[in-house]
Amino acid sequence: MYQYDSYDQAMVDARVEEFRGQVARRLSGELTEDQFKPLRLKNGLYLQLHAYMLRVAIPYGTLSGKQMRLLGDIADKYDRGYGHFTTRQNIQYNWIKLDDTPDILADLATVEMHAIQTSGNCIRNISSDHFAGAAADELVDPRPYAELLRQWSSFHPEFDYLPRKFKIAVIASDTDRAAMRLHDIGIQMVANEAGEIGARFYVGGGMGRTPMIAPVIREFVPALQMISYAEACLRVYNRYGRRDNKYKARIKILVHEIGADEYRRQVEEEFAHILTLGLEPPQAEFDRIAAFFADPGFESGLSDAVDRSDPDFALWLDQNTAAHKQPGYAVVVISLKPTGGIPGDASADQIRLMGDLGTAYSLDELRVTHTQNIVLPHVKKADLYTLWQKLDVAGLASANLDLISDIIACPGLDYCSLANARSIPLAQKISKRFADMDRQRDLGELKLKISGCINACGHHHAGHIGILGVDRKGTENYQLSFGGSEAADTSLGVITGPGFSEDGVVDALEKATDVYLTQRSEGERFLDTYRRIGMAPFKEAIYG
């Protein structure tokens, strides 16, 4: 894992002091809320329906046991004993007091963490593959590149007042576990014919009210020009992105309106200029960063055998673990989606326990997934049963990864001032309706995503089944869509037809899954069946 040096620490400490001064000016009345707003947003502090919400950055979703434990302590000390893991691999706290925030940031700084640029119209936290460094299918570890981008984007003086927020994801395998093409910039690390590593840039993806899948803008940017190319992409956007309408201000609209070819031409022109300026950190700096991401001390010669005699354990093993590149190890996903629970929520005790388990069983590393679960990336197969027992006692052993109850949901109208409808109660209702695990396993991989408004924080466009909450004449109404995907076969969902009440949408969901069960061919997931047979049979069952 990356570790701060005195420079990184000085930057974060300076930010804490700056924000402490700004909060003091707000509390004394020197700053009005209007003047304070852009300053608090640079530090991840939102004013929600009932309280302030603080969003803490977890760069590329990677953290140590110690960092995780501190996140649990913050939940106890400053919140109501809970933290909420988000779809951008971050954590947010929903019940924060303004005058506590400088102290929270100071606590975070003691473990090399911060809330910098987790909101506002700037470059947000860089996200990545939650299996990075463990996945059997990756070309290289994408995180050194993400860390390079993190440093470049931190307090970037030119790009702090962009037309709109800006999200970057970096992956390095053909299996996309980070919804890469649904980001403002998606980068896939690839090798060229000479075997050199470089970055393929996708620009102009996003969800929100106008979902778009990012086109390739450049097939191969040499690794040592990646920062310069990103700088060019951002500069063109900062200068020419729309500022007349916040709903048309994301880079996807610029790329769409002028076309990928014209955007590429402008970027290439700017890139040629920027290359003359020598802005790129040298190879030695990349090597310094990459050394932190060298394989942790894996043991060799371990057995791959796992005792499956406990049937409940065997179900969890099959559902919630993934292949590791090192023999004798597995990747474990801890589901934060228990039946009837709030997707992505964990109690302070659970967060601390996960930190402890990460230290004890995963070489002191944890990851946050964009699907709001937690990963222990490096677990010895010999430890899996013990680990599972400890998770089970803490209510953290739901064996439902990628099943219908592994729901992504935004905070919705229970917390968010932008929402039109509640997401959490609906997610809870669905997970209760489908609580029978045999039934869930029979339905197989089914990615269900719920957003409480058109901003699509719950990624509904990319759900095999997506649900969008809207306000219809003062009552909450839910639109259903099928066929989205955030994986390598990225696609956007299509709305089934008229919306439903909260109970109505759960009924419709059940009818749709019945159609799938009747119509599926051998080995087909819900998404595959939908793609093969189309919307009509589903529509007939739901509305007929």
Partner 1 sequence: MGDLLRYRDDAATGAPVLALADFLAADNSVAVRIEPGEDARALLPHLGRIALIEVSFPAYGDGRGYSSARILREEGFTGELRATGDVLIDQLSHMTRCGFDAFAPAKPIAADAAAKAIATWPEVYQKTVDGRSPIWAKRHGG
Q: Would you tell me which residues interact with partner 1 (CB under 8 A)?
A: 5, 7-8, 10-11, 14, 18, 22, 35, 38-39, 121, 151-152, 154-162, 235, 238-239, 243, 273, 277-279, 281-282, 284-285, 288
Q: How far is the C-alpha of 367 from the C-alpha of 376, rounded, in Å?
A: 7
Nearest CB to partner 1, comparing residues 43 and 319 = 43
Pairing between β-strand 62-64 and β-strand 82-85 as defined by DSSP bridges: unpaired
> Which of 14, 435 has the CB closer to partner 1?
14
Give, as one character, the DSSP assignment of residue 498.
Answer: S
Min separation Cβ 216 and partner 1, Å: 25
Q: Considering Cα of 85, then 86, then 88, then 90, what sign does the dihedral take?
A: negative
- DSSP assigned state of 77: H
d(CA 137, CA 323): 9
Q: Cβ of residue 365: shortest distance to partner 1, in angstroms?
A: 24
10 Å Cβ neighbour count for 492? 18
Closer by beta carbon to partner 1, 7 or else 305: 7
| Nearest distance, CB of residue 274 and partner 1, angstroms | 8
Q: Among positive and negative, which fits the CA dihedral 375, 323, 180, 111?
A: positive
Query: Nearer to partner 1 by C-beta: 232 or 404?
Result: 232
At 515 the three-state DSSP class reads helix
**Number of helical (H) and strand (E) elements in the chain, helices listed first:** 17, 20
Kindly tell me which of 154 and 400 has the beta carbon lying closer to partner 1: 154
Q: Is residue 344 packed enough to be buried (19+ CB in 10 Å), middle (13-18) or exposed (0-12)? A: buried
Tokens 């400053």 correspond to what residue?
A: 78
Contact indicator for 455, 438 with CB cutoff of 8 Å = no
Nearer to partner 1, 248 or 459 (CB): 248
CA-atom Rg of the chain in angstroms = 23
What is the Cα–Cα distance from 37 to 17, expressed in whole angstroms? 17
Question: Nearer to partner 1 by C-beta: 277 or 536?
Answer: 277
- Least distance (Å) between residue 17 CB and partner 1: 9
Shortest distance in whole angstroms from residue 259 CB to partner 1 = 20
Q: Which helix (H) or strand (E) holds 288?
A: helix 283-292
| Smallest separation, CB 166 to partner 1 (Å) | 11
User: At its nearest, how many Å lie between partner 1 and the CB of residue 245?
Assistant: 13
Which residue, 78 or 155, has its beta carbon nearer to partner 1? 155
Could you give the maximum distance between any two Cα atoms of the chain, in Å?
A: 67
**Min dist. Cβ of residue 9 to partner 1 (A):** 10
Shortest distance, CB of residue 243 to partner 1, whole angstroms?
6
Q: Which residues of 128-140 are buried (b: 16+ CB within 10 A; e: fewer)?
A: bbbbbbbbeebeb
Closer CB to partner 1, 242 or 441, in the complex: 242
**Alpha-carbon span 67 to 81, nearest angstrom:** 17
Smallest gap from residue 270 Cβ to partner 1 (A): 9
At a CB cut-off of 8 Å and minimum separation 6, what does 502 contact?
Answer: 422, 425, 426, 429, 476, 478
Residue 153 or residue 350: which is nearer to partner 1 going by CB? 153
C-beta of residue 254 within 8 angstroms of C-beta of residue 240: yes
